[in-house]
Amino acid sequence: MRTSKKATSGAIRSGVGGWTYEPWRDNFYPKGLAQSKELAYASTKLTAIEVNGTYYSTFKPPTFAKWRDETPEGFVFSLKANRFTTNRRVLAEAGESIERFVGSGLSELGPELGPLVWQFAPTKQFDPVDFEAFLKLLPREVDGLPLRHALDVRHASFLDPAYLALARKHRCATVFTDSDDYPSFADLTGDFVYARLMRTDPKVKTGYAPKALDRWAEAARTWAAGGEPADVPRVDGAGPKAKARDVFMYFISGAKERAPAAAMALIERLG
């Protein structure tokens, strides 16, 4: 395991979205590496991967078990919930879709199961009554395995203390999106931090400039120790108190070809 949890600090994991991407075969994977071995290789260089495929398709238990067996102890998969759970007019009616997704075999990942990411369309506005009805449907465990939920809200109407209060009430983290394309706010609403860093630059070998990576490494340490960085955007004041928090930082979108280099550079800074 490359990142261990201590009494005074949570685990910090850094990764990318997925592991199958043609340009990575030129600048991340060794030349000639079989595609079937890409996950195993990526898991030795990164500490987490966010899986986007589960947003579009339903996978079976043997697939999750295969991912688990191909990756080392301590590696973590964040899974994006199936789109049928969130892309709907009435979220309160998502119960059957949520049950189908959670019951599709996620528990086969065992301790490698990271947060479940519930991504909402950029057009989905905050409706307090309907949104709370949705949050009440999210299960706290599956097959005895605790579940952690991250809410990726993408409409400006969620920049609202009322939304933050609901997320905190139901112990769901809010995805912090470092991007100009979506609302960007780092208010803490759960007991872990989930950040999607989307500003990788194709002209920078490590995706982010060294000073920017230094900044995110320091932010990760602060979050993990239970604090809050001073230079991140928020809607209101400090979030729930914590002695320690797990932190998940993914380099997503932007210049995707640079994402693995950015994630590895962050891991190096974190020691």
Is a pLDDT exceeding 90 seen at residue 2? Answer: no
Q: Quick one: pLDDT at residue 223?
A: 96
CB 262, CB 206: distance < 8 Å: yes
Average pLDDT for 175-202: 96
Q: Quick one: pLDDT at residue 1?
A: 35
- Amino acid letter for position 6: K
**Quick count: other Cβ atoms within 10 Å of Cβ 201?**
15
Chain segment 194-209, per-residue pLDDT in tens = 999 999 999 999 999 9
Average pLDDT for 140-147: 97
Distance of CA 234 to the CA centre of its chain: 19
How many domains is the chain partitioned into structurally?
1
Tokens 């109407």 appear where? 157
Residue 254 resides in a domain: yes
Average pLDDT for 161-187: 96
CB 263, CB 46: distance < 8 Å: yes
Residue 5 resides in a domain: no
Is a pLDDT exceeding 50 seen at residue 14? Answer: yes
Percent of the chain at pLDDT > 90 equals 93
Is a pLDDT exceeding 50 seen at residue 5? Answer: no
Residue 136 resides in a domain: yes
Is a pLDDT exceeding 80 seen at residue 241? Answer: no
Q: What share of the chain is helix, strand, coil (3-state, %, to 5)?
A: 40, 20, 45
Q: Quick one: pLDDT at residue 192?
A: 97
Query: Residue 105 — left, alpha, or beta (φ > 0 → left; ψ -120 to 50 → alpha)?
Result: left
Residue range of the domain that includes 144: 12-270
User: What is the band of 226 on the pLDDT scale with cuts at 50, 70, 90?
Assistant: very high
Structure tokens at 157: 């109407």
Residue 179 resides in a domain: yes
Average pLDDT for 117-133: 98
Task: Please count the CA atoms within 13 angstroms of the CA of 217 that sit on its side-chain side.
Answer: 17
Interatomic CA distance for residues 159 and 155, integer angstroms: 8
Chain segment 25-65, per-residue pLDDT in tens = 989 999 999 999 999 999 999 999 999 999 999 999 999 99
Residue 150 resides in a domain: yes
Grouping H, G, I as helix, E, B as strand and the rest as coil, residue 158 is: helix
User: What is the band of 9 on the pLDDT scale with cuts at 50, 70, 90?
Assistant: confident
Residue 38 resides in a domain: yes
CATH number, domain with residue 221: 3.20.20.410
Q: Quick one: pLDDT at residue 16?
A: 98
C-alpha separations of 50 from 96, 118, 140, 244, 250 in Å: 24, 12, 20, 22, 7
Is a pLDDT exceeding 50 seen at residue 6? Answer: no
Structure tokens at 198: 């989307």
Chain segment 144-158, per-residue pLDDT in tens = 999 999 999 999 999
Q: Quick one: pLDDT at residue 263?
A: 98
Interatomic CA distance for residues 197 and 179, integer angstroms: 7
Specify the DSSP element, H or E, that contains 255: none
Residue 1 resides in a domain: no
Residue 101 resides in a domain: yes
Interatomic CA distance for residues 93 and 37, integer angstroms: 40
- Amino acid letter for position 54: T
Q: Give every CB contact of residue 186 below 8 A, 6+ residues apart in sequence.
A: 176, 195, 228, 229, 232, 233, 234
Q: Quick one: pLDDT at residue 184?
A: 95
User: What is the band of 3 on the pLDDT scale with cuts at 50, 70, 90?
Assistant: very low
Is a pLDDT exceeding 50 seen at residue 257? Answer: yes
Average pLDDT for 102-113: 98
Average pLDDT for 165-189: 96
Structure tokens at 229: 């960085």
Interatomic CA distance for residues 139 and 146, integer angstroms: 9
For residue 60, give the nearest of 110, 114, 109, 105 by alpha carbon.
105
Q: Quick one: pLDDT at residue 26?
A: 84
